[in-house]
């Protein structure tokens, strides 16, 4: 993606102008609109979808949080706010980052770099913005589970099971179910560590203990292998 189309939403002109000045210093970013009203932002997104949105939280008529909730396929979102109280909720809404006003250009650039990294994953997956994505580090996910934001470290994952629209993470000491697809996770997880072995399973290769027929033993669990993948799985798990 060469140009990242960016929407600015804040009810303060000074905040909008500062964001625009920062964005001018980043060649990949292009401002498609800057608006003071979240209702206007909805209209713009219906007309010309953006890749990235800088979004204030406390605004009249509709808060930034609630604006994001109304969007079926929201752009990647960086919250900008003077209040730290909403941070957990923001990450529960899959925000890329949370900029606490006043923020420096360096802090702004850090958030933009996170968004650029996530856009690479989205381009690869070909999906519309609902991926579970790594936050702050490449060795863990942040996912929403029962209204909480939970960190899932890659190294703790034994396997992931697909459950129609949901996935279940089986970890060393925990189990988590979240709204996601195996297809998206397969694109996102590091291929050196994880392998799709069946239409319903991704396993951590280093957690496999043995192979018995067409069943992998992962901890106390037995995971089926697709017949068409057996040779690939044996090579990847036991010889690479």
pLDDT digits 0-9 by tens, 140-151: 777 777 777 788
Res 171: pLDDT: 95
What burial class does residue 125 get, using C-beta atoms within 10 Å of its C-beta: 0-12 exposed, 13-18 middle, 19+ buried? middle
pLDDT tens-digit readout, 49-89: 889 999 998 887 777 888 888 887 788 999 998 877 766 66
Cβ proximity of 201 and 214 under 8 Å: no
- Beta strands across the sheet bearing 215-218: 208-212, 215-218, 221-224
Res 72: pLDDT: 78
Res 84: pLDDT: 73
Range 149-154 average pLDDT: 84
Comparing CA positions, the residue from 202, 198, 144 lying closest to residue 176 is 144
Cβ proximity of 37 and 61 under 8 Å: yes
d(C-alpha 18, C-alpha 7), whole Å: 14
Res 48: pLDDT: 84
Of the chain, the percentage scoring pLDDT greater than 90 comes to 42
Max CA pair span of the chain: 66
Cβ proximity of 195 and 236 under 8 Å: yes
Token pair 């923020």 is found at 103
Does residue 128 carry a pLDDT above 60?
A: no
Mean pLDDT score of the chain: 84
Radius of gyration from C-alpha coordinates of the chain? 20
Q: Is the dihedral of CA 193, 76, 73, 85 positive or negative?
A: positive
User: Which domains are delineated in the chain?
Assistant: 4-125 (3.40.50.2300), 140-238 (2.40.50.1020)
Range 124-153 average pLDDT: 61
Which of 61-70, 88-97, 102-111 has the least mean pLDDT?
Answer: 88-97
Range 24-53 average pLDDT: 91
Res 131: pLDDT: 42
d(C-alpha 3, C-alpha 19), whole Å: 17
pLDDT band, very low/low/confident/very high, at 92 (cuts 50, 70, 90): low
pTM: 0.55
**C-alpha distances in angstroms, 153 versus 96, 115, 146, 199?**
18, 20, 18, 23
- Interstrand relation of 148-153 and 140-145 (parallel, antiparallel or unpaired): antiparallel
- Interstrand relation of 157-163 and 166-171 (parallel, antiparallel or unpaired): antiparallel
Torsion of CA 198, 162, 175, 95, to 10 degrees: 120
């Amino acid at each position: 993606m060469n140009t990242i189309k960016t929407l600015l939403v804040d009810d303060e002109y000074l905040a909008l102008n500062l964001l625009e000045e920062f964005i001018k210093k980043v060649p990949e970013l292009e401002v498609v609109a800057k608006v003071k009203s979240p209702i206007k932002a909805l209209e713009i997104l219906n007309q010309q979808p953006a890749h990235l949105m800088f979004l204030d939280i406390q605004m009249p008529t509709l808060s930034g949080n609630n604006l994001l909730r109304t969007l079926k396929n929201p752009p990647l979102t960086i919250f900008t706010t003077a209040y730290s109280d909403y941070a957990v909720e923001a990450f529960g809404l899959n925000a890329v980052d949370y900029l606490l006003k006043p923020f420096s250009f360096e802090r702004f650039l850090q958030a933009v770099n996170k968004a650029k990294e996530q856009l690479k994953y989205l381009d690869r997956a070909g999906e519309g913005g609902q991926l579970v994505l790594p936050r702050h580090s490449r060795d863990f996910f942040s996912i929403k589970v029962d209204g909480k934001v939970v960190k899932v470290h890659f190294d703790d994952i034994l396997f992931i099971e697909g459950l129609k629209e949901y996935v279940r993470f089986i970890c060393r000491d925990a189990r988590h179910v979240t709204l996601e697809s195996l297809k998206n996770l397969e694109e996102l997880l590091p291929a050196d560590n994880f392998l799709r072995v069946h239409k319903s399973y991704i396993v951590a290769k280093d957690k496999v203990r043995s192979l018995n027929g067409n069943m992998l033993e992962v901890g106390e669990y037995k995971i089926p292998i697709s017949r068409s993948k057996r040779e690939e799985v044996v090579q990847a798990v036991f010889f690479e």
